[in-house]
Structure 1
Amino acid sequence: MHKIIQPDGWKPPKGYANGVLADGVPLYIGGQIGWTADQVFVAKDFVGQMEQALRNIVDVLEAAGGGPEHLTRLTWYVVDKKEYLAKQREVGEAYRRVLGKIFPAMTMVVVSALVEDEALIEIEATASIPADRNAA
């Protein structure tokens, strides 16, 4: 079970949590980029790659016996802040298609490049999977 931590007197965050307190077995998911399981970039745009990266995270969660509801943290690395800001509506729609209304603690970092030249975004994730559900 997760508990969202919101300090008294703080304005509520939009689309993320300031803190998440979690029970369970931690799962650390390495940075996922917007390519398929075959390491092919089908999407060439930011939103498409973001959606694929989130789907990749869900695949890893499911392989460990969990799901999006077990996410506790996402760290996003993006190469184009302006594109992200210009597409916030589409980003939100794609996010909800994959993760629903699950809003873990999040950080976004703008970087000059990612290791894969075609990658526009990379997302790391941390989850806490109940001991009776994990695949370990």
Structure 2
Amino acid sequence: MSHVTAVPAADSAVALAHFQSTLQFETDCWDVHDALSSAGEGRTGFILLDVRSPAQYAQGHVPGAINLPHGKIIESKLAAWPLDTLFVTYCAGPHCNGATRGAIRLAQLGRSVKIMIGGVTGWLDEGFELARPEMPEAAPVVGT
């Protein structure tokens, strides 16, 4: 017996329910990129939040992302968006829990939220470019 088989796998109905439910909480870099590439300005159906620090955001961020550090997510900073707005959070990558912290704060405020799994690391792994200050695209930073 190996560590893989020591705990039996869930039956298929339980596994199906589990894996389907993850898509209610997560999206991936490819799907975000596809939505950003194929939708017109402001027509993605979600607001992409980079929840890292402004300094990290300035070093490179997903094009179109708005910088709102997870510790600064409060209702007044979300007032510009309708209550039914879907937010997608991301941070540095799988080694970072900032996207989860941001998602928790948004959910506590009654907002719909998903996490972009992989974060910046996943974005780069997919071969996508980051926006940087010297590049023409300059996503807004939500007030401090």
TM over 0.5: no
Higher Cα Rg, which structure: 2
Answer 1 or 2: which has greater helix percent.
Answer: 2
- TM-score normalized by structure 1? 0.33
- TM-score normalized by structure 2? 0.32
**Higher relative contact order structure (alpha carbons within 8 Å, sequence separation ≥ 6):** 1
